[in-house]
Amino acid sequence: MPTLQLDDLSLHYEESGAGTPIVFLHGLGSSGRDWEFVAPGFTGQHRALIPDIRGHGRSGKPAGAYGVPLFARDIAAWCDRLGLTRVHVVGLSMGGMIGFQLAVDRPELVRSLVIINSGPDMVPRTLGMKLAVALRLLVLRVSGPRGLAKLIAPKLFPKPEQAELRRKVIEEIGANEPDAYLRATRGLIGWSVLERLEDISCPVLVLGSDHDYTPMSVKQAYTARLQNARLQELTDSYHAAPLDQPEQIIDVVKHFLLELEAPAQEGQRP
């Protein structure tokens, strides 16, 4: 697993395959392991790059406040250092938020976006949302990442046959450094690029699980505001779709990328 030093951050990442680069961005409290079932499906024709976000996994956990704009700056600087240009970005949950931020801050870097169970803001607007945020922060302070993981795992993977996935997510989230995880969680609250959605011109594929926390209607509302986007549902899936429905994601994302890349490939033919 290579490491790249970016000012105060030691950023770990995995890389495999060759071709047009795809950057896979994981969810809050997780790591590049979110993509262990998905990324191998793309390495035949693409270069798959999977970083651990600041404060997560085997990347550094520097002191200070965290937030989506900072996470996006890290990923942009990492892409620049690796000489990556015009990358496809695939983001789950927090990773999708970082993808949105990259698309508005560095539009020349992002060739396309795939947003999985995420959205362009994290502003608690209803009483229910505010209570949910407050409860998560309280559990983190009192019980730490492992206590929170034990509450989350059954909601992510509720089926009896998903016991191994529940065990893995408890292990993954439970391994977080408590202060870094708390700072990352706080850094998402109140973030928004809603007012900049109309500026995003790259093709966007929004994927929403039929059993996600956020209903498809919410995803449809923001998809309609994007210049070049479409929404597709993932069936029999919960929030952590890359782990519970990797085959569906591979199929729909491959089709999306083929549509984007086919014209360029045709243009290169004699």
Per-residue pLDDT reduced to its tens digit, 133-147: 999 999 999 999 999
Write down the pLDDT at residue 155.
95
Whether residue 62 is contained in a domain is answered as yes
**Residue 264 binned pLDDT confidence (cut-offs 50, 70, 90):** low
Bridge partners, 5 (sequence order) = 10
Average pLDDT for residues 79-89, to the nearest whole number? 96
Average pLDDT taken over every residue of the chain: 95
Does any domain span residue 184? no
SS3 call for 44: coil
Q: How far apart are CA 187 and CA 73, in angstroms?
A: 14
CATH of the domain at 46: 3.40.50.1820
Residue 148 falls within a domain, yes or no? no
Q: Is residue 202 part of a domain?
A: yes
Establish if 222 belongs to a structural domain.
yes
Structural domain contains residue 199: yes
How would you class 22 by CB atoms within 10 Å of its CB: exposed for 0-12, middle for 13-18, buried for 19 or more? buried
**Phi then psi dihedrals of residue 67, to 5 deg:** 180, 165
The full 3-state SS of 181-239, as one line of letters, equals HHHHHHHHCCCECHHHHHHCCCCEEEEEECCCCCCHHHHHHHHCCCCCEEEEEECCCCC
Number of domains in the chain: 1
% of the chain exceeding 90 in pLDDT: 94
The pLDDT tens digits for 46-72 are: 999 999 999 999 999 999 999 999 999
In-domain check, residue 159: no
Of 153, 60, 47, 55, which Cα lies nearest the Cα of 90? 47
Q: How much is the pTM? A: 0.95
Residues in the chain: 270
- Tell me, what's the pLDDT at 269? 43
| Per-residue pLDDT, 103 | 98
- The average pLDDT across 104-116 equals 98
Q: Which has the closest alpha carbon to 187: 58, 71, 59, 30?
A: 71
83 in any annotated domain: yes
pLDDT at 204: 98
Which pLDDT score, from 0 to 100, does residue 270 have? 39
pLDDT number for residue 262: 80
**For strand 204-209 and strand 3-6, is the pairing parallel, antiparallel, or unpaired?**
unpaired
Residue 101 lies in domain: 3-122+193-267
Per-residue pLDDT, 242:
98
Cβ atoms of 71 and 51 within 8 Å: the answer is no
Q: Give the whole-angstrom CA distance, residue 100 versus residue 116.
A: 11
